[in-house]
Structure 1
Amino acid sequence: MIEIKSISPFWLSFFTALFLGIYFTPVLAQENDSTRIVNEQKNFLKHSSKGFILATEDGKYEMQLEARLQLRFAVPDDQDPVTFADFANQDTRVFKINRARLKIGGHAYEPWLKYYFEYELSSSILLDYRVMIEKWPWLNFKMGQWKVEFTRERFISSGNQQMVDRSLLNRKFTIDRQQGVEVYGNLDAGGIANFNYWLGIFTGTGRGSTQNDDDNMMRFGRFQWNFLGRQVPFSGSDIKISPKPAGIIAIAGVTNTSPYTRFSSAGGGNLSGFEGTNDGQYYVKQYQVETAFNYKGFSWSSEFHRKYIYDTFDEVETNLGGYYIMAGYFPGQIIDFWPKPLEVAARYAVVDPDLEVIGLKQREAGVVFNWFFSEHKNKLTAELTRYTFQDKNLPQQDELRFRIQYDVSF
């Protein structure tokens, strides 16, 4: 597999500055009146929820620049427990810059020809790069590398999450970022006849991998019914205090053959107990059913997963399962003394690492408080979570974790 070389923050900043210099030089060179130049520049540069926006007067070209920082304190640890051994370390403290992102998006030539890049500065990783053709609501195309829309929990940006981080299910069931092509759109016949679809083919070897390991590509499909005639945005919490209810029911499926049984921002990897590295060793198929609902400050989401892994070398099959439910509310809607920007939410998740083994369960139960200074662009989050691992052959293990996080975009 060919790995994409990471771009250092210095060179990324250099090329961005170079682009801006080339972009504005012809415009400024045409003006002799300095006052007029200043006035015209005001039209070119503005700020919105997407960050700083540079645009031409005719609207054919637009570039959005946004930076984001996520600061986190955690005790006793910041990583979700994966095995029973992970419960041994109960006395650590963690303070870190969890994410430092630079996002560049916009359109070129036509408003419907869009592009997007996302770069992780702290670890020098190019996360996303994609081009989208979105001329018609019912038929759109995407190519490049991005988080596949398999699960709502993973597809939602880490800056728009309701909890500090994603649930225990994420490690086991996400397919994360992949390289490939996709067709998608919204089919709206009015009322309850409102549907979204996504169909894609990918290399199936994770972020940064430009080629498949064999002739079996990853195949993905998602079908979503917006049963109230409105889509629930890919964002946690009902910050807008929706005056009308919106709900979805979705089903998604994936098949893939590769050396990997899990994916993350680091690329392809393996779950505990799957140590093979041979090309095409693991045949994986999985599906999930999810729901989401928003109305007047109340938000709900859930996912139900099944995953089948077949080791083609050792001829062993494993079935995994899991689900989570999550709900949040802004009590200030009904309680006078409760601050309006303060949300409370809770999540309960269960993972079954092997459906054939009775009594083997991993559980997570958490409560979170979000104070939104400026929606998801500027928020403070405090979370308390309890993890429980159960195995009939071992003593039950428990961990209580506290995390506080500040997330800001500008």
Structure 2
Amino acid sequence: MKSKILTLGLLVSVFFSSFSQETNAPSFGKGLFNLIGKDSTWSMKIATRMQLLAVANWEEGPDGGLVNPESNTLVRRARLKFDGFAYTPKLKYKLELGLSNRDISGASEFNRNTSRYILDAVVMWNFYENFELWFGQTKLPGNIERVISSGNLQQVDRSLVNSRFNIDRDMGIQLRHHFNLSENFLIREKLAISQGEGRNVTEGNLGGHQFTARIELLPFGKFKSKGDYSGSDLKRETRPKLMIGVTYDSNQDAVRNRSNMGSYMVNDVGFYETTINTFFLDGMFKYNGFSLMGEYAHRDAKDAIARNSDGSETGDVVQVGDGLNLQAGYLLNKDWEVSGRYTNIKLDENITGSNPETQYTLGLSKYIVGHKLKVQTDISYLSVENGTDELMYRLQFDIHF
């Protein structure tokens, strides 16, 4: 076994050393290798990143003090990324693999009880003018906070609105287009038809299909370096930039309690199916080091209470309700940033039995090399109506090659 590992290691070393003789290594944060075929018919950028996280939690006791302390340290994310073009620059691809336990969790009978290594595996074809056709597994055009890479977040992690309502990744096709309404006013349209079961499902399509439509308005033109999908105003926009986005998603005959995510709703004849609709209204504003992001989410279902064939309830319910997330930050000298977040979740208590939640988060970040090398920390207070309030502290280190 050791000899096989040694042999594989030598082969990998020889492979990459052969390319390093022909090309210079990219600068920090631009990938490990940028490979281009001798006939220029293909390219591949290879990159890796990891996030190391420490978390501490406390509950609020009856007398107002903190009780039941818990702590955890973990490799939150560890990723390998490959992207480039094949045959022509108009045909691009992206492959992203997750290696941490959190990245690959979720084994079930629907993915052959195997780890879910693949995050993205998608090809993108610019087949005509401003039209692109995507095919494969990747993020659906949902809420802005979810589409922002986990490595480009303003705070340690995404909000409760995202964890409750996002529509994440799925397998399917997407059609994307953009045009200018005027010299500066940019409009982007995104349509998707997907399987509706989430990522890495291999054992058939259990329910119907998922349909997603999103439109984005940028009245003041493009952000620098795609800053509308990156946390913080690291480029310090010299002119105000704004993006407003609207998404509507309908998952027909869904069998999971959070659209294409969450638990499977099993009943006496197999699976309970119901149509789940999700609406997002979100926006990003940046100017001179100041950034503001806002999101509103609403989810409903045709019949949110899962039932057996005789009408009796199974105990499963669709997570329907509303969420609001507001987040702002200001970039100080030497790329220190102070940020704040307000999040409110109101699931339908009559259906889910959940109490309304409000979370307040204060964050501090030091960007050493932008998002590619940074240290972030935040503290959050979660207020639960008729429940137990909680305090959470987090510290995270990010490094991207």
TM-score range, shorter chain: 0.7 to 0.9
* C-alpha separation in 2, matches of 1:69 and 1:127: 15
1:234 aligns with 2:229: yes
1:248 aligns with 2:243: yes
Partner residue of 1:377 out of 353, 368, 372: 372
* C-alpha separation in 2, matches of 1:290 and 1:16: 49
1:404 aligns with 2:400: no
* C-alpha separation in 2, matches of 1:170 and 1:276: 28
The one-character-per-residue Cα deviations of 1:4-62 (angstroms, maximum 9, x if unpaired) are: xxxxxx99x969967984x997xx9xxxxxxxx94xx136x544643021113554321
| Partner residue in 2 for 1:337 | none
TM-score (structure 1 length as normaliser): 0.79
* C-alpha separation in 2, matches of 1:293 and 1:380: 23
Where do residues 292-371 of structure 1 align in structure 2 (5 Å cutoff)? Answer: 292-309=284-301, 310-311=303-304, 314=307, 319-332=320-333, 340-354=334-348, 360-371=355-366
1:270 aligns with 2:263: yes
Distance verdict in 2 for CA 1:136–1:367, change over 3 Å: farther
* C-alpha separation in 2, matches of 1:130 and 1:296: 35
User: What secondary structure does 1:397 align onto?
Assistant: coil
CA RMSD of aligned residues (A): 3.2
| Partner residue in 1 for 2:37 | 56
* C-alpha separation in 2, matches of 1:127 and 1:15: 25
Is this contact kept in 1: 2:258–2:318, CA < 8 A? no
Tell me which moved more, 239-248 or 229-238: 229-238
| Partner residue in 2 for 1:67 | 48
| Partner residue in 2 for 1:7 | none
* C-alpha separation in 2, matches of 1:168 and 1:129: 27
Partner residue of 2:71 out of 75, 88, 93: 93
The one-character-per-residue Cα deviations of 1:108-148 (angstroms, maximum 9, x if unpaired) are: 11112111111111235211111111355620011111111
Where do residues 141-180 of structure 1 align in structure 2 (5 Å cutoff)? Answer: 141-180=133-172
Residue identity in the other structure for 1:269: G
Distance verdict in 2 for CA 1:20–1:89, change over 3 Å: farther
The one-character-per-residue Cα deviations of 1:238-273 (angstroms, maximum 9, x if unpaired) are: 11111122101111011112210226xxx74239xx
1:282 aligns with 2:287: no
Question: How many residues are paired up?
Answer: 360
User: What secondary structure does 2:125 align onto?
Assistant: strand
| Partner residue in 2 for 1:6 | none
User: Unpaired segments of 5 or more residues in structure 2?
Assistant: 60-65, 105-116, 312-316
The one-character-per-residue Cα deviations of 1:159-189 (angstroms, maximum 9, x if unpaired) are: 1011111111122211111000000122123
TM-score (structure 2 length as normaliser): 0.81
| Partner residue in 1 for 2:109 | none
Distance verdict in 2 for CA 1:138–1:110, change over 3 Å: same
* C-alpha separation in 2, matches of 1:407 and 1:152: 21
* C-alpha separation in 1, matches of 2:30 and 2:47: 7
Is this contact kept in 2: 1:282–1:312, CA < 8 A? no
Partner residue of 1:112 out of 83, 86, 90: 90
1:261 aligns with 2:229: no
1:227 is displaced (CA, Å) by: 1.5
* C-alpha separation in 1, matches of 2:196 and 2:134: 16
User: What secondary structure does 2:256 align onto?
Assistant: coil
Identity of counterpart residues, as a percentage?
27
Residue identity in the other structure for 1:68: R
Is this contact kept in 2: 1:218–1:254, CA < 8 A? yes
Is this contact kept in 2: 1:281–1:312, CA < 8 A? no
* C-alpha separation in 1, matches of 2:138 and 2:318: 29
* C-alpha separation in 2, matches of 1:236 and 1:119: 22
1:362 is displaced (CA, Å) by: 0.7
1:100 is displaced (CA, Å) by: 1.0
Is this contact kept in 2: 1:74–1:94, CA < 8 A? yes
Is this contact kept in 2: 1:261–1:282, CA < 8 A? no
Distance verdict in 2 for CA 1:331–1:128, change over 3 Å: same
